[in-house]
Structure 1
């Protein structure tokens, strides 16, 4: 990997070694404890490896869409992969292969962050300034927090591992699950520490400021964490959102279509995955986009639902619908959209370039539109309805929709419903829907009240949603490996 790719991909601008040094550098995993992490360049390379998990982990590439949008009421499964249909039908078993893949990949990402935190204070290289040392710590704490937040939302109680594991002793590696309250306490402690160590910006280049963890990214993540935890702390949510809004990064809402037209690292973006295309590309768009764009003819793995399209249409929301959905006639049979060749069906369209599984289309890890609606939620839960309505209307007006009506906002409950719907239309295909429904405690009712008709037989689909299905099963392979673990209710 040459310096240009490292700097462009992860914006680690303090790498001060030659191209030849990087070409000769062995993988971090091959360095021994005796010679690894003695120089500034080595710890910077380890940090690059920690960021790289957003691209190498399949969950962050596109499976977050499967486990949020497809698993919820936003999308149907398509293609020919039985495991994706199991996600859609809420029939996920402990042997589902994606569970172990994501469990292991995300823990691997955590291990990379732990390694950086363990080794950073042992670096005595004069090229590593104390300012940069603190920033590296902050970036690693942010990454560890982000990944544990992903784990706890998917599985609830999970093992809390805060150091690298260098032993095969079963007493060391067989770690039991940690109570969810302790995990959230660790996440919030890490992210608030990270916010104190990181700058609002690293300079004037958005390609750097949107690629790396900043104080603004930490406060945005903290706001989401304090809202999602079992007992939300909405006052803390507001405090962190106020820090985002007062950041020197000057985050600003932009025209909605401009969020998804290749306008990368824009003013609304807080942090995003820095796909470059080609060898550093995103394969997700090829799995979603229609034949006219993807250049292939096979049935795609994700199809927006009738219920989602009805939600856009009921609101008259053409701006966000047109930026998010593209209809096209296809030659395969879709059982929810016509059930015959030649039917017009919708496609997820926030990614717009397939490029043969090597797209430069990006995912937002955090963006301001999400945070504005989260602020509305916090204000509403704190009985500040007027202020909450103002925030919702900012998002609606950006989508060229009128202000909320009195009927939509005349009580805390009606406003709560309006905010949840607004989040659905704003954040479709961004891996948020399942978490939103869980946070609002309406997952079971939403899925069981959903009316989706299978046109092959005219029958409604029964999702048989239960409280036990809110969390994923612990992967069977991990249970077999670690007898200290206990399975989630099935």
Structure 2
């Protein structure tokens, strides 16, 4: 990830790589990451770049989509990967390798943030305090740690809370027990509150490619809105408070008039974007589009992943949502058979289309980490839960009017709740939000067990066999083996 005000030439000094090594399988830190390596302002900036680089790990490129859109009613696995088929089938075992990869990548990202938070306060270089920069760096690192923990707690529930770096391989140090879900959320809120408290600015200047790449006060406020909506003991008043702070931010966030501009590849770092990964090509590119896009765009003919479901296509069609459907799904003749769309080779098959350019595994297409429409719909959801139905309708219809859909009206709280959920599905498809939404609404079991998707090979509906314990993932078996203090989530062997 490139930041115009950061020196990326010394990123090699970062404490941990984003490899698949477990955060519990630590080697002693090298000389390059020892305390005496953090002496200058440049050292601090380089370490921070390493934390941001974690957004280019496989989890944030496309596994977050697999563990949200593919797990849910939005997409099928597609492709040919047995582990992704298992995720699609809601038949995930602790030995599924994608669990270990994602767990490792997220904890490695947290460990890199921990190093910044631990070392930067001790740097004596006076340049680091110019323009309040030391405080900003610490705020950015705290936000990033919170963002990664938000992913972890939603995937696995309670996880170990690790807040300091360590050079020890002693099991007494590295074998950390799980904290409760409530404790993890409390830590996330503590980190975000710390980040906001006179540390993160609304902008870093006039350059959008910096302001949308970096943690800002707006990003922290947006994540707080999502946190208070998602945590078990929800606080809808806080959701409204933080959503309003984003909507009215001095950063000037606003919905784009043309929804398609969000995903056409030519309008990134736009006014609606709160934070996005800055894929710029070359070694800092997005390989995800090559895995999803059709042969006419990708240039290859092997079966692609993340295939839109019939239920998703029907949801767009039933709503008459042409604009968002065309921006999200592309139908094309596929040189393979698809068990849900066409058993005949060269049949018409839908492709996930919010990325538009593959560029031979080196796309500059992006996934939004946070964007305004999500926050507006969260505000609508919270207002409805607070009994402020008409205000909620105003927020919901703002999103609908952007894509030329008629305003909806109701005085029924439960009916409006479902309308907002549906709107979020159509607005945020392929943006790794659906599974969290279904869990938050308490509808994941109902939706998946009532989902009718016909396997054309058998002419029978697919049985997802959804159960409550599948709302969270099993702890990776490798971590269970390494750390006897970890207990497995209920319902998994």
User: Shift of residue 26 of structure 1?
Assistant: 5.1
Match runs of 1:390-469 below 5 Å:
390-404=394-408, 406=409, 409-469=410-470
The answer to whether the 8 Å contact 1:219/1:244 transfers is yes
Match runs of 1:466-481 below 5 Å:
466-481=467-482
Query: Normalising to structure 1: TM-score of the pair?
Result: 0.95
Q: Residues of 1 paired with 2:386 and 2:460: CA distance?
A: 42
**Are 1:349 and 2:353 counterparts?**
yes
Residue aligning to 2:26: none
Residue aligning to 2:68: 68
**Are 1:79 and 2:79 counterparts?**
yes
Residue aligning to 2:488: 487
User: Shift of residue 25 of structure 1?
Assistant: 6.4
Residue aligning to 2:90: 90
The answer to whether the 8 Å contact 1:12/1:48 transfers is no
Provide closer, same or farther for how the CA distance between residues 380 and 118 of structure 1 changes in structure 2, counting only shifts above 3 A.
same
Residue aligning to 1:306: 310
**Are 1:295 and 2:299 counterparts?**
yes
User: Shift of residue 37 of structure 1?
Assistant: 0.6
User: Shift of residue 371 of structure 1?
Assistant: 0.6
Residue aligning to 1:11: 3
CA deviation vs aligned residue, 1:358-381 (integer Å, no higher than 9, x gap): 100011000001011001001000
The answer to whether the 8 Å contact 1:86/1:92 transfers is yes
Residue aligning to 2:212: 210
Q: Residues of 2 paired with 1:132 and 1:88: CA distance?
A: 45
Match runs of 1:159-308 below 5 Å:
159-196=160-197, 197-254=199-256, 255-262=258-265, 263-308=267-312
Unaligned ranges ≥5, structure 1: 1-8
**Are 1:324 and 2:313 counterparts?**
no
Provide closer, same or farther for how the CA distance between residues 214 and 27 of structure 1 changes in structure 2, counting only shifts above 3 A.
closer
Q: Residues of 1 paired with 2:6 and 2:54: CA distance?
A: 20
The answer to whether the 8 Å contact 2:77/2:307 transfers is yes
The answer to whether the 8 Å contact 1:84/1:301 transfers is no
User: Shift of residue 74 of structure 1?
Assistant: 0.2
Q: Residues of 1 paired with 2:424 and 2:139: CA distance?
A: 30
Q: Residues of 2 paired with 1:24 and 1:69: CA distance?
A: 33
Q: Residues of 2 paired with 1:41 and 1:53: CA distance?
A: 19
User: Shift of residue 28 of structure 1?
Assistant: 4.6
Equivalent position SS for 1:52: helix
Equivalent position SS for 1:252: coil
The answer to whether the 8 Å contact 1:10/1:212 transfers is no
Q: Residues of 1 paired with 2:11 and 2:388: CA distance?
A: 59
Q: Residues of 2 paired with 1:73 and 1:437: CA distance?
A: 10
User: Shift of residue 260 of structure 1?
Assistant: 0.4
CA deviation vs aligned residue, 1:418-462 (integer Å, no higher than 9, x gap): 000000000000000000000000000000000000001100101
The answer to whether the 8 Å contact 1:71/1:90 transfers is yes
Provide closer, same or farther for how the CA distance between residues 385 and 345 of structure 1 changes in structure 2, counting only shifts above 3 A.
same
Match runs of 1:124-163 below 5 Å:
124-129=124-129, 131-163=132-164
Residue aligning to 1:3: none
The answer to whether the 8 Å contact 2:13/2:47 transfers is no
The answer to whether the 8 Å contact 2:400/2:406 transfers is yes
CA deviation vs aligned residue, 1:49-96 (integer Å, no higher than 9, x gap): 0000000x2110101111100010000111111111001001110000
Of the three residues 335, 353, 362, the one matched with 2:366 is 362
Provide closer, same or farther for how the CA distance between residues 326 and 88 of structure 1 changes in structure 2, counting only shifts above 3 A.
same
User: Shift of residue 248 of structure 1?
Assistant: 1.2
Residue aligning to 1:5: none
CA deviation vs aligned residue, 1:249-280 (integer Å, no higher than 9, x gap): 10000020000011110000000000011211
Q: Residues of 2 paired with 1:117 and 1:283: CA distance?
A: 31
User: Shift of residue 410 of structure 1?
Assistant: 2.8
Q: Residues of 2 paired with 1:80 and 1:149: CA distance?
A: 30
Equivalent position SS for 2:168: coil
**Are 1:382 and 2:383 counterparts?**
no
Residue aligning to 2:107: 107
